[in-house]
């Protein structure tokens, strides 16, 4: 395909770049950027190519001598200097360009957000700032001078001087350009310090716009906890004496790990009990951890090229998941992570966008910041840890840091570290990185004369461009329970390497009940013909919390899928759930998870995987009917639990309090089907925190009784855009499906819907697509609305438009009529004149 980049085409850059000196003279419409690059050729006679887009070239010189037009070629993609115009040996290239941050609506490169200057350079945004070898394997030391009249002027590394209207920064650590950052604005800091394990003091600053500073305390604490955790869990110490973190309101993604100057979407920094939910608090801590952990896994050791993205992202997600697991409740965190993995990555892997964690070609790299690279990438790291054990893992990581510090690495380097430190051959394991698709693991069992046999077969369906699927190396954690509920074989990791493989357990008195894939030890779909009684037994008795929850989930999924074609709710499930509601030995957070039914998209996904009809309306009705049955059957117990799980005292975001609130709201969502939403209305009226306000509001929306509360919420929070995002999402995602497309159109006309802001845009479009039956309304109104807005956003912000287009990735699941409507919208987008490369690549792949 035209404009495609291939992994196999990788060549090292033919020059070394030791040092960069940048001077910015800031102005909204005409910022001047001067750059001096100290370069030296690594091979004879190579032309010097520098990336550069949307730059107005003002001047160009080598060693102080201006270049003549015949010395270079300037194109839309960059600047190439002919070899004949280059001196022998080392030289300094000086450029000056002009850019217009105020006109930068793509939010990539240097742009403005509410009057403040900020940058986003990953993956290829630096080339919109200056001419440069914008590739991660070129690592240089940066010196930055900023001239501007803002009170705060920040860049990476250490401050080396400042005066009225200027500041200079020096970053001692060589880094690729994607980690460059600059911020200038009227900002205020919440300040703290952290003493590292070797006794060094680090200054910590959380920078926000004036007025937001009372919502920064949690972020500051989270940063200090992350720093401490990385020392304890990985032996990694921070390596500068200053760590700046800035919140911006206009940001395409969650946050960015720029060296010493992290830039965050403000929704992942700002939190107070009145404005943030428990989930927001958990995410803020997790993302602050994530970006901080990148300092070692991303910044000190970076990626050779963008195909290796999961080298930093998979590992760093794995690290942030472990951090949250240690800060909160480990088993609950694991269940949440698997719900996300299945909801996003399995869905991606089952459709036209399926790709390996390490892809081998792309048109637009920004389209590969995916659930597969991030979440599946993290699962692959988790499997490596399972295979070599916790000590083997630590040994491997120690070797990784020792061997590769300061380098730009590949997945091959990473695997080699595990091979060298463990002595194992991981060549088959590597398929997890290079092959797309979710393996399906079938299992049958047999018991004879005290010997129990588990037989597994694995199969991965073809994915785009990869028809052949060699067997994967799969760690399968298994435990066996005796019929009376005792564990007779504790967790054992079986290693499957063949297409079909058996494992035996001897000396058993009776046929055991197997608990397979404990802790979700591999990202596969487990297929096992099993009875509802056996799942209920595991739900009651399994010692592995993940599989205990999984048994409940299997029961719920099975009964829901049967109900979509007219079956009654399975009593085995309804009764088993009743037993758990009141089980005080289980944590409230865990019980809350068990009480929450699988979402409609998850049910659709499992029907599709099983080759069955996916009818969004039938799924919606089935889910509602099952909730009504549970509510009726367990009303008394739920009411009791609702009363008993009120959290006394002022709001605290800790895991235990959050677990109680989550359980209480799970009870409330069922009880509201019995009490005409009286309890929900009362809770909304009395709630002193956003978790309960929003939880109650969502329940009222679900039962169609939220009019007064929605109006009151809007009135109270209209001045706080981050809170208003919740208002948009909640009503759209939870309203009766028939109403969703029309409501979306109404909300898009609300003056508070500032569609150019990515958070706002996502709140309305994401809210609609989260309403499964609403988005898929038969008449196609949901699809049309959604496509209209992608078309509108694309010329301004292609990256966000392209990301949001994944709402269409599931078209193959649905009936012919819906398929045709979805594809027609994709074709309509694809046919837009001037469509961006981002959205163009997405629609082409989505259409297949
Ligand atoms: N590296 C960041 C996320 C990020 C990725 C791409 C971006 O623009 C295309 C922006 C941010 C992280 O993993 O947090
Ligand atoms: Zn990351």
- The residue behind tokens 């309804």 is 574
The span from the CA of 165 to the CA of 291, in Å, is 30
pLDDT of 762 higher than 80: yes
DSSP characters for 553-609? HHHHHHHHHHHTTTPPPPHHHHHHHHHHHT-TTS-HHHHHHHHSPPPHHHHHHHHHH
**Cβ < 5 A residues, ion ligand 2:** 313, 316
Closest ligand to residue 316's CA: 2
pLDDT for res 583: 93
Alpha-carbon torsion (577, 581, 584, 589), positive or negative: positive
Average pLDDT of 308-335? 98
Q: Give the pairing of strands 513-516 and 158-163.
A: unpaired
- Whether 369 is in the pocket of ligand 1, judged by its Cβ within 6 Å, is yes
Average pLDDT of 12-38? 98
Judge: domain 446-512, CATH 2.60.40.1840: yes
pLDDT of 845 higher than 70: yes
For atom 5 of ligand 1, the residue with the nearest CA is 122
302 CA to middle of ligand 2, Å?
11
So where are the chain's domains? 5-293, 308-434, 446-512, 718-848
The span from the CA of 338 to the CA of 353, in Å, is 20
Cis upstream peptide for 658 (omega within 30°): no
Same CATH fold, 446-512 and 5-293? yes
- Highest CATH level, class, for 5-293: mainly beta
For the question of residue 291 being annotated catalytic, the response is: yes
Atom of ligand 1 nearest to the CA of 313: 13
Copy the structure tokens of residue 537: 């037994």
pTM for this structure?
Answer: 0.99
Q: What is the mean pLDDT of the chain?
A: 98
123 CA to middle of ligand 1, Å?
7
- CA contacts within 13 A on the Cβ side of 288: 35
* From 108, 122, 257, 291, active-site residue: 291
- The residue behind tokens 């054992």 is 492
The span from the CA of 196 to the CA of 236, in Å, is 10
255 CA to middle of ligand 1, Å?
6
Closest ligand to residue 136's CA: 1
pLDDT of 181 higher than 60: yes
- Whether 122 is in the pocket of ligand 1, judged by its Cβ within 6 Å, is yes
The span from the CA of 520 to the CA of 334, in Å, is 8
- Whether 287 is in the pocket of ligand 1, judged by its Cβ within 6 Å, is no
| Angle in degrees, CA 584, 586, 589, rounded to 5 | 115
- CA contacts within 13 A on the Cβ side of 157: 21
781 CA to middle of ligand 2, Å?
36
Torsion of CA 576, 579, 585, 588, to 10 degrees: 80
pLDDT for res 2: 67
Report the CATH number of the 308-434 domain.
Answer: 1.10.390.10
Atom of ligand 1 nearest to the CA of 251: 10
- Whether 252 is in the pocket of ligand 1, judged by its Cβ within 6 Å, is yes
Note the pLDDT tens digit of each residue in 346-399: 999 999 999 999 999 999 999 999 999 999 999 999 999 999 999 999 999 999
Note the pLDDT tens digit of each residue in 455-502: 999 999 999 999 999 999 999 999 999 999 999 999 999 999 999 999
| Residue from 108, 113, 253 to probe ligand 1 pocket by mutation (most atoms less than 8 Å from CB) | 253
Note the pLDDT tens digit of each residue in 640-676: 999 999 999 999 999 999 999 999 999 999 999 999 9
- Whether 393 is in the pocket of ligand 1, judged by its Cβ within 6 Å, is no
For atom 2 of ligand 1, the residue with the nearest CA is 256
For atom 7 of ligand 1, the residue with the nearest CA is 122
Note the pLDDT tens digit of each residue in 104-117: 999 999 999 999 99
For atom 12 of ligand 1, the residue with the nearest CA is 256
| Residue from 254, 256, 257, 299 to probe ligand 1 pocket by mutation (most atoms less than 8 Å from CB) | 256
Q: Which of 164, 129, 138, 173 is nearest to 24 (CA)?
A: 129
299-326: burial string, b at 16+ Cβ within 10 Å, e else: bbbbbbbbbbbbbbbbbbbbbbbbbbbe
For atom 1 of ligand 1, the residue with the nearest CA is 256
What's the pLDDT band for 582 if we cut at 50, 70, 90? confident
- Highest CATH level, class, for 718-848: mainly alpha
310 CA to middle of ligand 2, Å?
9
Closest ligand to residue 264's CA: 1
pLDDT for res 1: 45
For atom 6 of ligand 1, the residue with the nearest CA is 122
Strand segments (E) across 509-553? 513-516, 525-527
Note the pLDDT tens digit of each residue in 85-103: 999 999 999 999 999 999 9
606 CA to middle of ligand 1, Å?
30
Contacts of 39 (CB under 8 A, 6+ apart): 15, 16, 17, 18, 48, 90, 91, 92, 93
Average pLDDT of 527-536? 95
pLDDT for res 109: 99
Note the pLDDT tens digit of each residue in 703-743: 999 999 999 999 999 999 999 999 999 999 999 999 999 99
DSSP characters for 178-195? GG--EEEES-EEEEEEEE
pLDDT for res 127: 98
- Whether 256 is in the pocket of ligand 1, judged by its Cβ within 6 Å, is yes
Instruction: Provide the H-helix boundaries in 648-706.
Output: 655-671, 678-686, 690-702
- Whether 313 is in the pocket of ligand 1, judged by its Cβ within 6 Å, is yes
632 CA to middle of ligand 1, Å?
46
315 CA to middle of ligand 2, Å?
9
End-to-end CA distance of the chain: 13
């Amino acid at each position: 395909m035209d404009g495609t980049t291939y992994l196999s085409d990788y060549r090292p850059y033919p020059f070394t770049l030791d040092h960069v000196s940048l001077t910015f003279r800031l102005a909204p419409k005409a910022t001047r950027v001067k750059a001096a690059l100290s370069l030296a050729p690594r091979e004879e006679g190579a032309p010097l190519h520098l990336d550069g887009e949307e730059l107005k070239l003002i001047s160009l010189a080598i060693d102080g001598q201006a270049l003549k037009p015949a010395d270079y070629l300037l194109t839309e993609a960059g600047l190439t200097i002919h070899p004949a115009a280059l001196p022998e040996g080392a030289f300094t290239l000086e450029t000056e360009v002009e850019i217009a941050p105020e006109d930068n609506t793509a939010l990539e490169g240097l742009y403005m957000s509410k009057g403040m200057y900020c940058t986003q350079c990953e993956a290829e945004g630096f080339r919109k700032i200056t001419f440069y070898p914008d590739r991660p394997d070129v690592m240089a030391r940066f010196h930055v001078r900023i001239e501007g009249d803002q009170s705060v002027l920040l860049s990476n590394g250490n401050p080396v001087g400042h005066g009225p209207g200027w500041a200079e920064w020096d970053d001692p650590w060589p880094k690729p350009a994607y980690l460059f950052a600059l911020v200038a604005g009227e900002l205020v800091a919440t300040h703290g310090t952290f003493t590292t394990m070797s006794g060094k003091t680090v200054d910590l600053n959380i920078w926000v716009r004036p007025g937001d500073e009372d919502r920064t305390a949690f972020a500051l604490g989270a940063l200090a906890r992350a720093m401490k955790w990385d020392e304890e869990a990985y032996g990694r110490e921070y390596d500068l004496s200053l760590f700046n973190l800035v919140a911006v309101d206009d940001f395409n993604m969650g946050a960015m790990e720029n060296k010493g100057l992290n830039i965050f979407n403000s929704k992942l920094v700002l939190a107070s009990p009145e404005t943030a939910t428990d989930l927001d608090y958990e995410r803020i801590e997790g993302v602050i951890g994530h970006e901080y952990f990148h300092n070692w896994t991303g910044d000190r050791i970076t990626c050779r090229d963008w195909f290796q993205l999961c080298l930093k992202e998979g590992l760093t997600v794995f690290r942030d998941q472990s951090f949250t697991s240690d800060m909160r409740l480990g088993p609950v965190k694991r269940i949440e992570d698997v719900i996300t993995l299945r909801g996003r990555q399995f869905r991606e892997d089952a459709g036209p966008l399926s790709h390996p964690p390490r892809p081998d070609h792309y048109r637009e790299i920004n389209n590969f910041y995916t659930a597969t690279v991030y979440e599946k990438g993290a699962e692959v790291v988790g499997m490596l840890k399972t295979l070599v054990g916790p000590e083997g893992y630590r040994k491997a990581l120690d070797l990784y840091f020792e061997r590769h510090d300061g380098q730009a690495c590949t997945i091959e380097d990473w695997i080699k570290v595990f091979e060298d430190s463990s002595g194992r051959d991981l060549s088959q394991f590597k398929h997890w990185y290079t092959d797309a698709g979710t393996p399906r693991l079938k299992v049958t069992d047999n018991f004879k004369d005290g010997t129990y046999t588990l037989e597994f077969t694995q199969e991965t369906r073809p994915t785009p461009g990869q028809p052949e699927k060699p067997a994967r190396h799969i760690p399968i954690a298994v435990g066996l329970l005796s019929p009376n509920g005792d564990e007779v074989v504790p967790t054992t990791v079986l290693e499957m390497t063949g297409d079909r493989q058996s494992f035996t357990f001897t000396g058993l008195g009776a046929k055991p009940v197997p608990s397979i894939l404990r802790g979700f030890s591999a990202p596969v779909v487990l297929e096992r013909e099993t009875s509802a009684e056996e799942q209920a037994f595991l739900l009651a008795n399994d010692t592995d919390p993940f599989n205990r929850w999984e048994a409940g989930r299997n029961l719920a999924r099975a009964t829901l899928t049967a109900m979509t074609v007219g079956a009654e709710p399975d009593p085995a499930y309804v009764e088993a759930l009743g037993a758990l509601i009141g089980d005080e030995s289980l944590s409230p957070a865990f019980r809350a998870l068990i009480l929450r039914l699988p979402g409609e998209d998850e049910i659709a996904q499992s029907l599709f995987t099983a080759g069955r009809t996916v009818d969004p309306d039938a799924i919606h009705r089935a889910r509602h009917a099952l909730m009504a049955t549970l509510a009726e059957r367990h009303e008394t117990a739920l009411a009791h639990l609702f009363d008993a799980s009120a959290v006394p005292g002022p709001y605290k975001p800790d895991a235990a309090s959050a677990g109680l609130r989550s359980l209480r709201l799970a009870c409330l969502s069922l009880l509201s089907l019995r009490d005409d939403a009286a309890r929900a209305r009362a809770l909304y009226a009395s709630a002193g925190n956003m978790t309960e306000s929003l939880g109650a509001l969502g329940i009222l929306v679900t039962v169609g009784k939220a009019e007064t509360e929605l109006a009151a919420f809007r009135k109270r929070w209209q001045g706080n855009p981050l809170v208003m995002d919740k208002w948009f999402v909640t009503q759209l995602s939870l309203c009766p499906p028939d109403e969703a497309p029309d409501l979306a159109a109404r909300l898009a006309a609300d003056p508070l819907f500032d569609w150019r802001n990515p958070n706002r845009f996502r709140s309305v479009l994401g809210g609609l697509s989260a309403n499964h039956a609403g988005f898929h309304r038969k008449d196609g109104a949901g699809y049309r609305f959604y496509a209209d807005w992608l078309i509108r956003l694309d010329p301004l912000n292609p990256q966000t438009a392209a990301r949001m287009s994944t709402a269409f990735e599931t078209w193959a699941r649905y009936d012919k009529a819906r398929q045709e409507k979805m594809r027609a919208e994709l074709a309509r987008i694809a046919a837009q004149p001037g469509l961006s490369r981002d959205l163009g690549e997405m629609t082409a792949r989505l259409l297949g």
